[in-house]
A and B are shown apart, each in its own frame.
Chain A
């Protein structure tokens, strides 16, 4: 078991800065998710931890050991690749035992570990098969098995579920979590899927263009995104944003979009609110923080419904309030009908405000 610590890691490919001053500490037994849009440097970061790529500068520690110059095989890590990277000419047993044999693990122990892993992953009937005789989901399990039997200090996983169909992905996600609860190996998990990140991570590191945007628990990321990017990235459908100016209206500090005025949330109060006066901001409110009016508070608006998407347990409506459009998740019983007006209430106490220029969250 081990921590992993990255200190001021840079990685340049020619002119491209793939990873830019990344500092990150992954705790012992933690399941840390590295998430961000395509090309933001997740894989590169993971490969540097693995030793498959050498950082341009910065230090990487695994446990207390500085591993900058330690070759991949001596870092005591196991990696699950996006395309599985199974050895095509070996059957499943050989795929699993390859690494163990190289480390001269005794035969009985190899057998025990393979049996354990195979049972845990439900691949015990596939042990004699070659990778090409397996389905995508089965291959994925074998790839996981190959990592598990090694009993490494750290698991590194690069989008291991991305090649699975939606249903299998959800199931394997749960299996992976169960597995982690059992073996408790420190894990760095890369994905570009925010749902995967939210459901799996003890903590989540959000990256963009090689830069770490925020490192927090799923709850923390959702409740207080550090900037506009994180706010828009986490949550589905994404947070609604309106541009506006902070103004004093009738003794209350409001964000004024020109046609609509909404009050600042309590997190932007006192000094921060005063400092924000007159500034250009982006006001953000999540679709789930908008309800049909039912007399239980919230900021009332009258919205015209433009689109209704019926999802069974909820409807997602595109609503328009005097030219400002946003998405809301409503109860199917809210009675939203296309073209009609509907009184909505915005839970502005859960809204977010960002500086329009720096895109950082404003709070006080």
Chain B
């Protein structure tokens, strides 16, 4: 009955609208159009869609084309070459090293960030004097422009003036003037890159974790204490599972970001010594932009795309399952 009444009134309204429209001025007509939810809604999301098409879709399509063509900086529309670029890339020793570095760099950064981020989060959640100051200090790496931060680190890791080595020597870890050349030796350079990257991203991880942890009702943790759970059990069995969805998002974001990031490598070593510290992104940049081999550079950039895509989809699905169940 109500259904019928509604549809009758709908019909009445639409005919009334049609009649009214016939007599409207153009300006009024636009006004009416904007009142329409469908029209207005699409209008509102249009910038986002345009953004994705122009700034994400277009470069991506170009990169795909570059990968299968012999594009160079001087001749961007090169001839189609199929998988030649990919084959070349796979035979490139430096690329293989960069690929391995990317995984080492990403995974160890993530692991260290998670462990220290968690510790930092708990520290930030405690009530103590000067907590605000500590929070501000923790946020500092996030607010300092990364280039400035990297320059500071370069100075600190410089073989001659290294603050790190001086402190290490004072503490008796290495002889005075005989400490490691942090950015000049392969192993140490990689370690330095990871440390600086962790330094840069730790605030983000810590803040996300802090937000997650503080969203857990205090009573739940108290109930767990009364049930006999010490802090480690509370973290493993109660807090971590509850904030898992948040951790997943942060991890997904951070993983994809780190896999494709070259900032710290570029600012600290530019791949040196002897191309041993490149990650895929930095080597692709060198190959594609600096040396002008656009096709090969694109092939490198897109090399991990399928892996990242599958990883991202898996994490998203996992997240959905968790939030739904």
Q: Which chain B positions have C-beta within 8 A of A146?
A: 223, 227
Cα separation A85 to B238 with both chains bound (whole Å):
12
Q: By the criterion CB–CB under 8 Å, are A85 and B223 in contact? A: yes
Closest to B322 in A: A89
Closest to A80 in B: B223
Proximity bits, B224-258, A CB within 8 Å = 1, else 0: 11111110010001100110100000000000000
Proximity bits, A145-181, B CB within 8 Å = 1, else 0: 0100010000000000000000000000000000000
Name the distance in Å between B248's Cβ and chain A's nearest Cβ: 14
Any B CB within 8 A of the CB of A52? yes
Taking a contact as CB atoms closer than 8 A, the residue among B224, B226, B325 that contacts A87 in the complex is B224
Q: By the criterion CB–CB under 8 Å, are A102 and B229 in contact? A: yes
Q: Which chain B positions have C-beta within 8 A of A79?
A: 222-223, 226
Cα separation A60 to B217 with both chains bound (whole Å):
27
Which has the most chain A C-beta neighbours within 10 Å: B222, B233, B238, B241?
B222
Q: By the criterion CB–CB under 8 Å, are B217 and A99 in contact? A: no
Q: With A89-B241, A89-B242, A102-B233 given, is the CB distance from A78 to B226 under 8 Å?
A: yes
Q: By the criterion CB–CB under 8 Å, are A72 and B237 in contact? A: no
Closest to B230 in A: A73
Q: By the criterion CB–CB under 8 Å, are B225 and A81 in contact? A: no
Closest to A47 in B: B222
Cα separation A83 to B222 with both chains bound (whole Å):
12
Q: By the criterion CB–CB under 8 Å, are A52 and B222 in contact? A: yes
Q: By the criterion CB–CB under 8 Å, are A73 and B223 in contact? A: no
Q: By the criterion CB–CB under 8 Å, are B217 and A73 in contact? A: no
Cα separation A102 to B237 with both chains bound (whole Å):
11
Any A CB within 8 A of the CB of B220? yes
Name the distance in Å between A71's Cβ and chain B's nearest Cβ: 8
Q: Which chain A positions have C-beta within 8 A of B229?
A: 73, 98, 102
Closest to B220 in A: A85
Q: By the criterion CB–CB under 8 Å, are A83 and B226 in contact? A: no
Taking a contact as CB atoms closer than 8 A, the residue among B222, B233, B241, B242 that contacts A85 in the complex is B222
Proximity bits, B207-230, A CB within 8 Å = 1, else 0: 000000000010110111111111
Cα separation A146 to B229 with both chains bound (whole Å):
14
Q: By the criterion CB–CB under 8 Å, are B219 and A99 in contact? A: no
Taking a contact as CB atoms closer than 8 A, the residue among A83, A130, A150 that contacts B217 in the complex is A83
Cα separation A99 to B226 with both chains bound (whole Å):
8
Q: By the criterion CB–CB under 8 Å, are B242 and A81 in contact? A: no
Q: By the criterion CB–CB under 8 Å, are A102 and B220 in contact? A: no
Q: Which chain A positions have C-beta within 8 A of B223?
A: 79, 81, 85-87, 146
Q: By the criterion CB–CB under 8 Å, are A85 and B227 in contact? A: no
Closest to A84 in B: B219
Q: By the criterion CB–CB under 8 Å, are B219 and A83 in contact? A: yes
Proximity bits, A95-115, B CB within 8 Å = 1, else 0: 000110011000000000000
Name the distance in Å between A117's Cβ and chain B's nearest Cβ: 14
Any B CB within 8 A of the CB of A198? no
Q: By the criterion CB–CB under 8 Å, are A88 and B228 in contact? A: no
Any B CB within 8 A of the CB of A362? no
Cα separation A73 to B244 with both chains bound (whole Å):
26
State the majority secondary structure of interface residues on B.
helix
Q: Which chain B positions have C-beta within 8 A of A72?
A: 222, 225-226
Proximity bits, B286-325, A CB within 8 Å = 1, else 0: 0000000000000000000000000000000000000001
Cα separation A76 to B242 with both chains bound (whole Å):
26
Cα separation A83 to B237 with both chains bound (whole Å):
20
Any B CB within 8 A of the CB of A50? yes
Q: Which A residues between 89 and 138 are near B, CB-CB below 8 angstroms?
A: 89, 98-99, 102-103, 130
Q: Which chain A positions have C-beta within 8 A of B227?
A: 73, 98-99, 102, 146, 150
Taking a contact as CB atoms closer than 8 A, the residue among A77, A86, A88, A98 that contacts B237 in the complex is A98
Q: By the criterion CB–CB under 8 Å, are B225 and A73 in contact? A: yes
Which has the most chain A C-beta neighbours within 10 Å: B219, B227, B229, B242?
B227
Closest to A88 in B: B242
Q: By the criterion CB–CB under 8 Å, are A87 and B220 in contact? A: yes
Name the distance in Å between A266's Cβ and chain B's nearest Cβ: 50
Q: By the criterion CB–CB under 8 Å, are B225 and A85 in contact? A: no
Cα separation A312 to B150 with both chains bound (whole Å):
82
Q: With A52-B222, A73-B225, A98-B237 given, is the CB distance from A85 to B230 under 8 Å?
A: no
Closest to A83 in B: B219
Q: Which chain B positions have C-beta within 8 A of A103?
A: 228
Name the distance in Å between A119's Cβ and chain B's nearest Cβ: 22
Q: Which chain A positions have C-beta within 8 A of B228?
A: 73, 99, 102-103
Q: By the criterion CB–CB under 8 Å, are B238 and A87 in contact? A: yes
Cα separation A225 to B96 with both chains bound (whole Å):
86
Cα separation A69 to B231 with both chains bound (whole Å):
17
Name the distance in Å between B243's Cβ and chain A's nearest Cβ: 10
Proximity bits, B109-121, A CB within 8 Å = 1, else 0: 0000000000000
Closest to A158 in B: B219
Cα separation A72 to B226 with both chains bound (whole Å):
5
Cα separation A102 to B225 with both chains bound (whole Å):
11
Q: Which chain B positions have C-beta within 8 A of A78?
A: 226
Cα separation A88 to B223 with both chains bound (whole Å):
12
Name the distance in Å between B216's Cβ and chain A's nearest Cβ: 9
Cα separation A150 to B227 with both chains bound (whole Å):
8
Q: Which chain A positions have C-beta within 8 A of B325?
A: 130
Could you write out 28 A-B pairs with CB less than 8 Å apart? Answer: A50-B226, A52-B222, A52-B225, A52-B226, A71-B225, A72-B222, A72-B225, A72-B226, A73-B226, A77-B226, A78-B226, A81-B223, A83-B217, A83-B219, A85-B219, A85-B220, A85-B223, A87-B223, A87-B224, A87-B238, A88-B242, A89-B242, A98-B229, A99-B228, A102-B228, A102-B229, A102-B233, A146-B223
Besides A79-B226, A83-B219, 9 more A-B contacts (Cβ < 8 Å) are: A50-B226, A52-B225, A52-B226, A73-B228, A81-B219, A85-B222, A85-B223, A98-B227, A146-B227
The 10 closest A-B pairs by CB, nearest first: A99-B227, A85-B219, A102-B228, A85-B223, A73-B228, A89-B241, A81-B219, A72-B225, A85-B220, A72-B226
